[in-house]
Structure 1
């Protein structure tokens, strides 16, 4: 992936990882479109940066994704990078019968959202120069957090889907998986203030440095997430699962 001169779409660009990536990419000389459900948050991301553009998008709405993609292509015909970053992570109790509406919403946003948006833009990306698709998964794709079981499962599925995309788009679109550890964002309430999570600025600096390598790694894994990513191969997945379950 080239460092500058791109036109980049970032979903979930109103906070956290999406916001900071959008700002760093803008400052490196890229045109950036931030998309999300709350226009005011997107406008905060863009404040003071003339080449960040806010567009409202609810990735849970299939029809809205199609209309959004059409408008996006019309307004930004040079679009060549898409970052599927939007996601939610509610905690849940799965050891008894319950209302599954929250779990179903997680699947729609975290998994169907990236699948649908990629589908809406893949033909455009295949025709673009220096095209790249970045899917944001999680260290929990490899060792699940039991109290966020559906979130973890959607990230595992997104990892698998990204492998398939990479194989099928080989030679036309660079497909990259960004695998964050727990990062100090507001993905869950109070997470940004908890010491066990990686500081957001540190994550952005380390992961962006990896992303800008030539060649770009197919998986961008900062040091803090490697134990999770490699747990099955290293034989300590059960130990890490026990640790997460005890939190």
Structure 2
């Protein structure tokens, strides 16, 4: 992925990692479009920045994705980079029968959303120079948080989908996976100030340094997430599964 001169769409660009990524890509000399449900949040992301644009999008709505993609390409024909960042995370108790509304919404947003948006834009992207798709997954796609089983599963699925697309689109569209660790954002209640989570600014600094490497790594992995990503290869999966979940339980309890 070239570091500058791109036209980049970032979904989930109204807050957290999406907003921070969008602003830093813009700082690097790219035109950036942020998309999300809340216009006010998107407007805050782009405030005072030329070559940044905001478009509302509900990734849960399949028909809205097609309409959005057609409008996006018409208004920004130079679009050559898609960042699938929009996502939700819900804690679930899977040990007893429950209402699956949260699980189903997580699958639609985190898995079907990126698949549908990629499908809507892939033909356009293939025709662009220096085209790339960046899929934001999670360390939890490699070592799951058992209190968020559906979230973890969707991130594992998008990792696999990215690997497949990387091979299928080789030579036409570059596929990059960004797998964050726990970062201080509003993804879950209290997470933005939760001790033990990586401060957002530190995360983004490290991520942008990795994006600046040439060639761009096919997996963008900050140092904090590497032990999780490499747990199975290191023969440490069971130990790191236990450690991660114990730490998360303690953090949620305020301990």
TM above 0.5:
yes
Shift of 1:89: 0.3
Shift of 1:242: 1.3
Shift of 1:51: 1.3
Q: Does 1:236 align with 2:231?
A: no
The residue number in structure 1 matching 2:211 is 211
Shift of 1:243: 2.1
Q: Does 1:105 align with 2:105?
A: yes
Q: How does 1:162-241 map to 2 (within 5 A)?
A: 162-241=162-241
TM-score computed with the length of structure 2 as normaliser:
0.96
Equivalent pairs, count: 247
The residue number in structure 1 matching 2:252 is none
Residues 146, 244 of structure 1: 8 Å contact kept: no
Residues 89, 148 of structure 1: 8 Å contact kept: yes
Rounded to whole Å, the distance in 2 between the matches of 1:217 and 1:114 is 21
Residues 31, 51 of structure 1: 8 Å contact kept: yes
Residues 46, 52 of structure 1: 8 Å contact kept: yes
The residue number in structure 2 matching 1:71 is 71
Consecutive aligned runs of 4 or more in structure 1 exceeding 6 Å deviation: none
TM-score computed with the length of structure 1 as normaliser:
0.99
Q: How does 1:40-51 map to 2 (within 5 A)?
A: 40-51=40-51
Shift of 1:245: 3.0
Secondary structure of 1:181's counterpart equals coil
Rounded to whole Å, the distance in 2 between the matches of 1:243 and 1:149 is 16
The residue number in structure 1 matching 2:38 is 38
Secondary structure of 1:146's counterpart equals coil
The residue number in structure 2 matching 1:7 is 7
Shift of 1:185: 0.5
Rounded to whole Å, the distance in 2 between the matches of 1:135 and 1:212 is 17
Residue ranges of structure 2 left out of the alignment (5+ in a row): 250-255
Rounded to whole Å, the distance in 2 between the matches of 1:3 and 1:19 is 18
Shift of 1:26: 1.0
Secondary structure of 1:232's counterpart equals coil
Secondary structure of 2:156's counterpart equals helix
Shift of 1:244: 3.0
Residue ranges of structure 1 left out of the alignment (5+ in a row): none
Rounded to whole Å, the distance in 2 between the matches of 1:240 and 1:96 is 25
